[in-house]
Amino acid sequence: MIRPRLAAMRALVTGGAGFIGSQLTDALIAQGATVTVLDTLTSGRRERLPENLDLRQVDITDAPAVTAVMEEIRPEVVFHLAAQIDVRASVTDPAHDAAVNIGGTITLLEAARTVNARLVFASTGGALYGMDAPIPSNEKVPPAPEAPYGTAKYCAEQYLALFNRLYGTQHVALRLGNVYGPRQDPAGEAGVVSIFLGRVHDGHRPTVFGDGTQTRDYVYVGDVVTAFLAASTHPDGGVWNIGTGRETSVLDLIKHIGQAADHEVTPVFAPARPGELQRSALDATTARNDLGWFPVTSIAEGIERVYVWVRDGRPDRATS
Ligand X SMILES: NC(=O)c1ccc[n+]([C@@H]2O[C@H](COP(=O)([O-])OP(=O)(O)OC[C@H]3O[C@@H](n4cnc5c(N)ncnc54)[C@H](O)[C@@H]3O)[C@@H](O)[C@H]2O)c1
| Catalytic site positions | 149
Separation of alpha carbons 82 and 64, rounded Å: 17
C-beta closer to ligand X: residue 100 or 310: 100
Identity of residue 246: R
CB-nearer residue toward ligand X: 60 or 141: 60
Q: What's the closest the beta carbon of residue 117 comes to ligand X, in angstroms? A: 17
* CB of residue 140 to ligand X, shortest distance in Å: 19
Cα-based distances in Å from 1 to 116, 205, 303: 6, 53, 40
Smallest separation, CB 273 to ligand X (Å): 17
Least separation in angstroms between CB 176 and ligand X? 4
User: For residues 172 and 190, which CB has a smaller minimum distance to ligand X in the complex?
Assistant: 190
Residue 158: HSE in the Cβ half-sphere, 13 Å Cα cutoff: 9
Question: d(Cα 216, Cα 193) in Å, to the nearest integer?
Answer: 11
Q: 277 in helix, strand or coil?
A: coil
**b/e per residue 39-56 (b: at least 16 CB within 10 A):** bbeebbeeebbeeebebb
- For 285, the enclosing helix (H) or strand (E) is helix 285-291
For ligand X, the binding residues (CB under 6 A) are 14-15, 17-21, 39-44, 59-61, 81-83, 85, 100, 104, 122, 124, 126, 176, 178-179, 188-190
Complex with ligand X: residue 85 or 291, whichever CB lies closer: 85
